[in-house]
Amino acid sequence: MNWVGLFCAVVVLHQTAAFADAEKTPKRLVNQLGNPSFLSRLQAEQELLDLGYRSYSAIVEGTKSSDPEIRYRTLRLMKLLRRGAFADRQQELRANPWIVPEGLAPGWEEFHQMLGDGEDARELYVQILNSETDLMLAVSAPGWQSQFEKRCSDLQAFSHQRQSLQIQPGSIAALLFLACHPENRPSGNASSVITMLISDATFRDAALRSRSSDVLKGLIGIWIRKNRHTSPIQLLSDAVTFDLDAGMEAARDGISRRHQLRASAIHTGNSIFYLAKYGGKDVIEELEKLLSDSAQLPGSFKNSATTVQIRDVALAALLYVTKQDPKKYGFNELRPKSGYLYYANSARFASDQDREKALLLWKSWRANHVRDPIRGSLDASEGDAL
């Protein structure tokens, strides 16, 4: 073969190879997914997978095809490719999620706005993606909220088998994040499932002791503030469990409803003491308004020598906020209660006369130590007015 013949042969071979490659472009392979031949469809699927994320755009377009076979296969391929591409990008996600294609970092912008982009936050984000990959990868598509609701419904239906289901903290964190997502308005059923899940012992331990503890607690706090379906009693309990100030609205609700027929004495007392513990000097005026409430604490303690009144609990709370010794006011039976300062029924005076003396002592102390508006530290050990 002379040089001219050899050159022509090389050109032909090159063109043939180029044509073959063109035949294997993602778009052509997607069209081949609708081929009548099962083997041709199977081969096209494998070649699209081999191309990896380079075929993703063509596959997304295929999900809009009028051919039901192409739509079915591209939807399946899209999930497989995204899972694989996500798995390959985990280190990048841990280092800097902003450089990862948006489709492989679903919900990151909202996650970042809620919880920041610190190292622990990024680690939790990757854990969330690993635990609920399909659900999280759906977030970038319209209507993802219905998939969230379905996941919650499935968990609710089998809630009696929760332990056998082995719901991991990462999955609970993922559902909690999606419940807090600004584009989501969880139903009452979904909200009850989230409330159930955050009481899981393993998740609670992770939120209190794991590396991402502060991030998880921040997420729980957002949920407590957002949740409108769960009772204030449960919301306040959750806030106390995780040592969060997110239950202030629930506490105020408990105080405002203190005179309702079915108001709980325990919840009323807890609400007042929670407000004092987490509100500090900012709630003094709110607590002082309760000093005129001589109503017996709902659900009276009939075995007591004297009844406990709303103002007694409020006064004990004020003494905590202002760092005064409750014994100087005649509170000799106060018993500490984790998360709520004291048991409400222990805010008891020996007699009605002792109560009146305590209230007068408070008025005297306040006149000498607190000016309106309240400013600075409220430390009763200092003699200067505040």
What is the predicted pLDDT for the residue at 9?
41
What is the predicted pLDDT for the residue at 60?
77
What is the predicted pLDDT for the residue at 17?
40
Per DSSP, the three-state class of 194 is helix
Q: Tell me how far apart the alpha carbons of residues 269 and 312 are, in angstroms, rounded to a whole number.
A: 10
Report residue 117: phi and psi, to 5°: -125, 30
Q: Tell me how far apart the alpha carbons of residues 103 and 79 are, in angstroms, rounded to a whole number.
A: 11
Residues in the chain, total: 386
Q: Burial-class residue 172 by CB neighbours within 10 Å (0-12, 13-18, 19+).
A: buried
User: Encoding tokens for residue 296?
Assistant: 């017996």
Cis amide linkage into residue 373, ω under 30° from 0:
yes
Radius of gyration of the CA atoms of the chain, in A:
32
What is the predicted pLDDT for the residue at 299?
58
Where the chain has pLDDT below 70, the residues are 1-24, 53, 159-166, 298-306, 371-386
What is the predicted pLDDT for the residue at 376?
41
CA angle 82, 88, 89 (to 5 degrees): 85
Q: Tell me how far apart the alpha carbons of residues 278 and 247 are, in angstroms, rounded to a whole number.
A: 9
Which segments of the chain are extended strands (E)? 336-337, 341-342
CA distances from 319 to 130, 242, 324 (A): 49, 25, 5
What is the predicted pLDDT for the residue at 305?
58
Asked whether the beta carbons of 125 and 136 are under 8 A apart, the reply is no
Q: Tell me how far apart the alpha carbons of residues 173 and 128 are, in angstroms, rounded to a whole number.
A: 6
Asked whether the beta carbons of 179 and 190 are under 8 A apart, the reply is yes
Q: Tell me how far apart the alpha carbons of residues 70 and 301 are, in angstroms, rounded to a whole number.
A: 71
User: Model pTM?
Assistant: 0.77
What is the predicted pLDDT for the residue at 304?
53
pLDDT tens across 209-222, in order? 988 899 999 999 99
Report residue 172: phi and psi, to 5°: -65, -40
Residue 105: alpha-carbon gap to chain centroid? 18
